[in-house]
């Protein structure tokens, strides 16, 4: 009996409460299931917020890159077209100009490769990549009353090059990040 009393005292149980003998210091199955459910719910919220944040940062980076590329392409085109002598040939995805030095200057959009290329003499340079849409148009220099320009019926009348494009990038495999359409009217000054 003394040994039994000693065992009960060492285990923290008393003789007066025999039900204490059956109690343990562990979680019940219901408590474990509730804790796991709450843990999974919190982890799911953290994962969704992380994906949203990553996607937002990627989108901001894409917009920045697309804007920088569009600005650089427009600056290059504006400088070269303004200094050109005349339009030699024109289609909606290709325009060829002649510089004051007599060198051929061509801007060509390839819808399959999604690129805009500048070809000046023997030199070739890609100005835009991942370009979904690009269209050239030519007009006369004189504007109408509603601030539009009269369309040029022949390339010899063309003194204004109108160009519009839209570029985009993929985010997580789908085209969700599209830059707004860029439009410019560039006057041939010579």
Q: Which domain holds residue 85?
A: 50-187
More confident residue, 140 or 40: 40
Q: Please, which pLDDT band fits residue 161 given cuts at 50, 70 and 90?
A: very high
Residue 138 lies in a domain: yes
Angle in degrees, CA 182, 185, 166, rounded to 5: 20
Contact 118, 77 (CB under 8 A): yes
What is d(CA 30, CA 11) in angstroms, rounded to the nearest whole number? 26
Residue 19 lies in a domain: no
pLDDT 10s digits, 37-88: 999 999 999 999 999 998 888 888 888 888 899 999 999 999 999 999 999 9
Domain count, the chain: 1
Residue 129 lies in a domain: yes
Residue 120 lies in a domain: yes
Residue 38 lies in a domain: no
Contact 118, 105 (CB under 8 A): yes
Considering the chain, what is the average pLDDT of its residues? 85
Residue 68 lies in a domain: yes
Q: Please, which pLDDT band fits residue 162 given cuts at 50, 70 and 90?
A: very high
pLDDT 10s digits, 83-122: 999 999 999 999 999 999 999 999 999 999 999 999 998 9
Residue 84 lies in a domain: yes
What is d(CA 107, CA 85) in angstroms, rounded to the nearest whole number? 15
pLDDT-above-90 percentage for the chain: 52
Residue 77 lies in a domain: yes
């Amino acid at each position: 009996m003394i040994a039994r009393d000693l065992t009960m005292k060492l285990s923290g149980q008393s003789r007066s409460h025999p039900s204490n003998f059956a109690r343990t210091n562990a979680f019940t199955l219901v408590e474990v299931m509730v804790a796991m459910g709450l843990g999974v719910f919190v982890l799911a919220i953290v994962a969704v917020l992380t994906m949203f944040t990553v996607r937002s940062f990627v989108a901001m980076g894409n917009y920045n890159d697309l804007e920088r590329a569009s600005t650089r392409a427009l600056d290059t085109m504006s400088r070269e077209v303004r200094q050109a002598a005349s339009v030699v040939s024109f289609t909606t995805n290709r325009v060829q100009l002649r510089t004051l030095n007599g060198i051929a200057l061509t801007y060509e959009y390839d819808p399959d490769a999604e690129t805009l290329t500048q070809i000046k003499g023997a030199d070739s340079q890609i100005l835009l990549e991942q370009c979904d849409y690009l269209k050239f148009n030519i007009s006369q220099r004189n504007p109408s009353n509603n601030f539009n320009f009269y369309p040029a019926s022949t390339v010899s009348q063309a003194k204004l090059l109108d160009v519009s494009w839209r570029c985009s990038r993929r985010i997580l495999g789908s085209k969700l990040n599209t830059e707004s359409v860029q439009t410019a009217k560039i006057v041939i000054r010579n």
